[in-house]
C-alpha cells in the first residue's frame, strides 16, 4: 500500500494552526484528530496529571453544548468521539461517515475552545479519575510500566505518570485548570490531522471558520533525559504473580537508530515466533506472557522485556532472558531470521494502515516528530537497510548489564 504524494496535503494557517490530511477515495468515512502539543512532560510535580484532567473536562460541556449533547450530536449519526493523553501530546478525535465531517469538526472545535470547567464537574471528575488511578494500582501489568519509566527517567518530567497523583488530582480547581488551558491550548500548539474520504480544502475552510482570531501558547522547553542505570528495584503489592521488566532508556523519535531498535525488539519478544516467546514460554512453559516493547518519545525511548510468572520460576526466566541477550550481543542473526523480522515489521505497519484512525495518528506523529510526512516507502527502505551487523552492535549497546535496570513487582508474602 503506497502513498501517492498528492493524497497527502499540508496547510499552515496565518494563526499558526497546522492541517494535514490524507485522501482515501475507496472508503466512505474519516478519522479526525485535534492534536495539542502538550502532555505530562510539560507538567510540574505540583500539577502532575492536569493534562489528563483537562482531557476529561473537555467532555463535560461548553457554552452551547451539555456533556450529553456533545456525545449525542456525534453518536446519533453513527459516529464516535474519544480522546487520549500521552506524555508529549493530547488528542481529541472522532470518526464518522464522510457527510458528517463538518458536524464532528464543529463539536470538537467547540470542546477545545469553550469548555465551562464548572466547579461541580471538577469535583465529580476528580473522584472518577482517582478511581481510574486505583484501577491502575490494582493492575500490575499496567502499574509496572509506570514504575519502570519513573525509575529510568528519574529527575525528568517523563518520569511522572500521565494520570497524576491523588494529591495533585484533588488540588485542581476552576482557576488553575482554566489558566493551564488558556496558556497551552493556543492555536500555534494545534495540529489537525484527518484521514479518509475527505477534501483537504474543506478541512482548511472548516478550520478557518471555527478558529478565528489568534491565541498563542509559549514555546515549551523540554529537558532532555539523562540516561540512568539503577540496578535492581523491587516494589511490593498484594498480588499472586511476580511481574518484571528488564530494560533501559534508548533512542527516541529524533534518532535514526530507533527503527533498528524496533527490529531488535521484534527479534526478542514480539510475536509467538520471537526468541523469548519460544525460549521462555514454548520450551520451558514458565510464563503465560512475555514480550518486548519500545515506548518512544522525541529524544528517548523506554525499551525492554516484560514478563510475569510465579515466584519459583522468576530466577529461571531472568536467566533465560539474559542468555538470549548474550546471544544477540555475541553473534549476528542469520539471514532467514532477519528476513522474517523485516517482513513482520512491514506487515504490522501495512496492516495498521487499513484503519483510518491509525492513518490519522501516523500523519500527526510524522508532522509532530519529523516536521514532514514520512512515507511508507521511505520507512520500508530504511527497514531493508538495517543489517545483522548493525543489530548486533545495537544489542551490545542496549542489552548488557552496564545499562540494564530490573524492576520487580512482588507480593508482600514473598518479601517476608
Identify which of 82, 71, 91, 170 has the alpha carbon closest to the alpha carbon of residue 124.
170
Question: Residue 83 is placed in which grid cell?
Answer: 480522546
Residue 1 has pLDDT above 80, yes or no: no
Instruction: Classify residue 286: in a domain, yes or no.
Output: yes
Can you give the pLDDT at residue 228? 64
Sign of CA dihedral 376, 377, 380, 381: negative
- Is residue 257 predicted with pLDDT exceeding 80? yes
My answer on whether 77 and 196 are in the same domain is yes
Query: In degrees, to the nearest 5, what angle opens at C-alpha 19 toward C-alphas 13 and 22?
Result: 145
- 263 conformational bin, left if phi > 0, alpha if psi -120 to 50, beta if neither: alpha
| pTM of the predicted model as reported, rounded to 2 decimal places | 0.94
271: left (phi over 0), alpha (psi -120 to 50) or beta: left
If asked whether residues 74 and 118 sit together in one domain, one would say yes
Domain boundary among 180, 210, 240: 210
134-145: b (≥16 Cβ within 10 Å) or e? eebeeebeebbb
Does residue 39 contact residue 87 with C-beta atoms inside 8 Å? yes
- Measured in degrees and rounded to the nearest 5, phi and psi for residue 314 equal -60, -55
The answer on 84 and 148 residing in a single domain is: yes
Domain that holds residue 378: 232-415
Q: What pLDDT, in 10s, does the model give residues 128-140?
A: 999 999 999 999 9
Based on the domain organization, do 148 and 253 belong to the same domain? no
Q: Are residues 99 and 236 in the same domain?
A: no
Q: Which residues contact 118 (CB under 8 A, 6 or more apart)?
A: 60, 61, 174
Whether 222 shows a pLDDT value over 50: the answer reads yes
Residues 197 and 239 in one domain: no
Mean confidence (pLDDT) of the chain: 94
- Give the mean pLDDT of 348-361: 95
- How many domains does the chain divide into? 2
Secondary structure element (H or E) that encloses residue 148, with its range: helix 140-152
Do 85 and 201 belong to one domain? yes
The pLDDT value recorded for residue 226 is 73
In a domain, 227, yes or no: no
Closest by CA to 194, choosing from 74, 106, 93, 82, is 93
Say whether pLDDT at 402 is over 50: yes
Note the pLDDT tens digit of each residue in 101-135.
Answer: 999 999 999 999 999 999 999 999 999 999 999 99
Do the domain assignments include residue 215? Answer: no
Question: For the ranges 220-229, 369-378, 404-413, which has the lowest average pLDDT?
Answer: 220-229
| Residue 38 belongs to some domain of the structure | yes
Domain boundary among 151, 177, 210: 210
Does 272 score more than 50 pLDDT?
Answer: yes
Task: Give me the CATH number covering residue 85.
Answer: 3.30.830.10
| Alpha helices for 218-280 (secondary structure H) | 258-269, 275-276
**Rg of the Cα atoms in the chain:** 23
271 lies in the same domain as 389:
yes
Helix/strand/coil percentages in the chain, nearest 5: 50, 20, 30
- For residue 378, pLDDT over 50 is answered with yes
Please check whether residue 192 lies inside any domain of the structure. yes
Amino acid at each position: 500500500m503506497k502513498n501517492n504524494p498528492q493524497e497527502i496535503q499540508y496547510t499552515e494557517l496565518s494563526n499558526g494552526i497546522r492541517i494535514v490530511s490524507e485522501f482515501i477515495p475507496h472508503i466512505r468515512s474519516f478519522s479526525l484528530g485535534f492534536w495539542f502539543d502538550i502532555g505530562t512532560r510539560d507538567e510540574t510535580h505540583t500539577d502532575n496529571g492536569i493534562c489528563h484532567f483537562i482531557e476529561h473536562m473537555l467532555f463535560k460541556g461548553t457554552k452551547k453544548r451539555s456533556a450529553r449533547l456533545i456525545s449525542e450530536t456525534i453518536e446519533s449519526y453513527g459516529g464516535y468521539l474519544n480522546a487520549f493523553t500521552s506524555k508529549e501530546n493530547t488528542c481529541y478525535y472522532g470518526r464518522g461517515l464522510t457527510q458528517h465531517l463538518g458536524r464532528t469538526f464543529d463539536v470538537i472545535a467547540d470542546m477545545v475552545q469553550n469548555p465551562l470547567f464548572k466547579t461541580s464537574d471538577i469535583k465529580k471528575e476528580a473522584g472518577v479519575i482517582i478511581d481510574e488511578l486505583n484501577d491502575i494500582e490494582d493492575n500490575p501489568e499496567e502499574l509496572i510500566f509506570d514504575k519502570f519509566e519513573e525509575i529510568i527517567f528519574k529527575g525528568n518530567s517523563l518520569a511522572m505518570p500521565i494520570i497524576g497523583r491523588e494529591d495533585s488530582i484533588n488540588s485542581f480547581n476552576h482557576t488553575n485548570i482554566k489558566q493551564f488551558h488558556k496558556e497551552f491550548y493556543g492555536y500555534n500548539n494545534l495540529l489537525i490531522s484527518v484521514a479518509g474520504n475527505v477534501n483537504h480544502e474543506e478541512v482548511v475552510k472548516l478550520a478557518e471558520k471555527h478558529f478565528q482570531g489568534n491565541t498563542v501558547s509559549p514555546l515549551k522547553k523540554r529537558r532532555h533525559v539523562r540516561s540512568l542505570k539503577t540496578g535492581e528495584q523491587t516494589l511490593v503489592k498484594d498480588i499472586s504473580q511476580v511481574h518484571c521488566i528488564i530494560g533501559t532508556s534508548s533512542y527516541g523519535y529524533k534518532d535514526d537508530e530507533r527503527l533498528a531498535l524496533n527490529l531488535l525488539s521484534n527479534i526478542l519478544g514480539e510475536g509467538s515466533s520471537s526468541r523469548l516467546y519460544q525460549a521462555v514460554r514454548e520450551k520451558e512453559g514458565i510464563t503465560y506472557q512475555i514480550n518486548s516493547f519500545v515506548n518512544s518519545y522525541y529524544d528517548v525511548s523506554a525499551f525492554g522485556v516484560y514478563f510475569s510468572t510465579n515466584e519459583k520460576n522468576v530466577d529461571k526466566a531472568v536467566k533465560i532472558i539474559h542468555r538470549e541477550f548474550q546471544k544477540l550481543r555475541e553473534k549476528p542473526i542469520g539471514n532467514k531470521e532477519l528476513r522474517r523480522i523485516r517482513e513482520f515489521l512491514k506487515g504490522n505497519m501495512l496492516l495498521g494502515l487499513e484503519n483510518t484512525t491509525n492513518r490519522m495518528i501516523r500523519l500527526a506523529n510524522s508532522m509532530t516528530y519529523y516536521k514532514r510526512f514520512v512515507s511508507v516507502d521511505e520507512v520500508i527502505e530504511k527497514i531493508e537497510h538495517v543489517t545483522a551487523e548493525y543489530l548486533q552492535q545495537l544489542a551490545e549497546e542496549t542489552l548488557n548489564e552496564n545499562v540494564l535496570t530490573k524492576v520487580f513487582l512482588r507480593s508482600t508474602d514473598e518479601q517476608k
